[in-house]
Amino acid sequence: MKSQDPNTSADIFSTRRDFLKISSAALAAGLATMEALTANAQEATSLAKQCNFSALPPGFVYLNSGTEGSMPECVLATLQDSLKKWASDPTTSYETDPALGKHQELNREKVAAFLGTGRNNICLTDNTTMGLSMTLMGLNFRPDDKVVTTNHEHNAIKSPLQILQERIGIQVETQVFPASETLSGMDSNELLDTLFPNSPNLRGARALCVSHVYPSTGVRLPLAALREKADELEIDYLIVDGAQAMGMIDLTSGADNIENCDFYACPGHKWLNGPPSTGVLYVRNENLRPPEFYPTISQRMGMYANCDSQSDTCFPIAEALQVRGCSNTPGFAAMISAMKFAKDVGGSAQIEKHILTLSREVKDSILSRAPRSIVSPHSDSDLASGLTVFFPFKWDRPETTFRDQKTANQVVRELLDRNIQVRSIGFADAGSSGESSEASYAVRVSTGYFNTTSQIKLLNDALEAVLTRIG
Ligand SMILES: Cc1ncc(COP(=O)(O)O)c(C=O)c1O
């Protein structure tokens, strides 16, 4: 183990190298002077130093932001201060405090600024599951409606769809992901055309429900391309599960601009490194109203039933969803602090670059040893994310891969014995001819923004030791 604590963010962004790369690109584009950018880089590095991930024990290599993130010191401090403020004056805190009060206007405004949206597009939630449930239970589905989804969705999508199927009778079209050996080499156009062909069973569906980044394979589906697909297929709503993207991917512009989605639900507690029980629901149409959409978890349906839609007396839908009894507002205040931290250390685009660079290092090292074991796409960067998924393989006979749960769990356990936290993940892997097969189990490595190149080196060395002995 290195003597330097691998969880200090001193070498965040691997460290100044990336800033310098950015600096030259920006100079070429005439965006700013080298001096200004170097100063920014230094300032960002020093801000990161002031707010370390010191809660992670020294020597613990945490590579599992896809399950839960950690919290840097500034986020923990905001959470603790907010809880104390609440305890010292509970009534004022709940009723009127700008950061802790029930309407959450200030925090919604700040989340909107972070995501480049308007305040009335944002509702703060407990988690992704809650945002997706608000969406799917709120939309006015009818018995003959069709919803398109995939076989790799998390239960946060599957569960409400099952309820709608059983309760209302909607038809769910589940598209099957290609087999992992095909998937890993695909590009984004091929994959999207395979998943969502322009065929009669998909055309005219009410909703397309997919994930931005898949926890099972690490596939990222670019939001702009998903929008095009939804439009081509004349699907009304693009509903996206952003559990594995918020805090990893820059959602403010380009191919992954959140505004491509009609609804986007995501957490504060994973890649963003905010506290537990925090999340965001983005609603594109801030003027949504019943009967198109009902605020199901809300204390404000009365404001709709009794308001005049032509005047300004109706609550925006995001606020109707926000006011729902006593929420985890100290957590929301701390989530804002995580967003401020992200901005201070360079912003979402820079964080995405760091995460993807580390992920590339993991992918390259697996590919160089056992190219057949990799599940995550590795040739088209549009499909890449901070998740690297691979099947365990014999280090000395890398063509031998294992897809059973026991082996994947064993690798995870043995890495943990060496102070490295990854996880195993199960998913339905289609056979090479496309038919569905038994669940396959793989190992998943998340490279979060507190991880470093030296930690990836530790992982590689540990993998060699563990995989030499398996099977
Ligand atoms: C794709 C996906 N959706 C939803 C969830 C659930 O997230 P949350 O705890 O924020 O509801 C997860 C958790 O891992 C996930 O990976």
Ligand 1 centroid – CA 58 distance (Å): 28
| pLDDT at residue 24 in the model | 37
In this structure, the number of other CB atoms found within 10 A of the CB of residue 364 comes to: 13
18 pLDDT band (50/70/90 cuts)?
very low
Q: Does ligand 1 have an atom closer than 6 angstroms to the CB of 241?
A: yes
Q: Whose CA is nearest to atom 7 of ligand 1?
A: 128
Grade residue 21 by pLDDT with cuts at 50, 70 and 90.
very low
270 C-alpha vs ligand 1 centroid, how far in Å?
Answer: 9
Closest CA relative to residue 183, chosen from 224, 221, 240, 233: 221
Please give the mean pLDDT across all residues of the chain. 90
**SS3 category, 150:** strand
Domains and CATH numbers, the chain: 9-70+346-469 (3.90.1150.10), 78-343 (3.40.640.10)
Mean pLDDT, residues 327-351: 97
Compute the distance between CA of residue 278 and CA of residue 330 in angstroms, rounded to an integer.
10
The pLDDT confidence band at residue 42, using thresholds 50, 70 and 90, is low
Closest-lying ligand 1 atom to the alpha carbon of residue 153: 1
Name the nearest CA neighbour of 6 among 44, 73, 54, 50: 54
Q: List CB contacts of 429: < 8 A, sequence separation 6 or more.
A: 179, 180, 375, 403, 437, 439, 440
Whether 425 has a pLDDT exceeding 60, the answer reads yes
Share of residues in the chain with pLDDT > 70 (%): 87
Residue 25 has pLDDT above 50, yes or no: no
Ligand 1 centroid vs 56 CA: distance in angstroms? 22
Please give the share of the chain, as a percent, with pLDDT higher than 90: 83
Greater confidence (439 vs 366) lies with 366
Averaged pLDDT for residues 252-257: 96
Ligand 1 pocket check for 65: Cβ under 6 Å = no
127 lines ligand 1 (CB under 6 A): yes
Average pLDDT of the residues in 146-172: 98
Q: Residue 282: is its pLDDT beyond 80? A: yes
pLDDT in tens, 116-151: 999 999 999 999 999 999 999 999 999 999 999 999
pLDDT band at 315 (very low <50, low <70, confident <90, very high): confident
- Contacts within 8 Å (CB) and 24+ apart, 257-261: 257/116, 257/223, 257/224, 258/115, 258/116, 258/117, 258/223, 258/282, 259/116, 259/117, 259/284, 260/223, 260/224, 260/226, 260/227, 261/223, 261/226, 261/227
- Ligand 1 in contact with 133 (CB < 6 A)? no
- Per-state percent for the chain, helix, strand, coil, to nearest 5: 45, 15, 40
Instruction: Give the pLDDT confidence score for residue 307 in this predicted structure.
Output: 81
pLDDT digits (tens, 9 = 90+) for 171-180: 999 999 999 9
pLDDT(221) > 90: yes
> Among 154, 214, 219, 278, which is best to mutate for testing ligand 1, by the most ligand atoms less than 8 A from CB?
154
Q: What is the pLDDT of residue 456?
A: 98
* Alpha carbon of 68 to ligand 1 centroid (Å): 10
More confident residue, 307 or 353: 353
Res. 37: pLDDT tops 80:
no
Residue 320: is its pLDDT beyond 90? yes
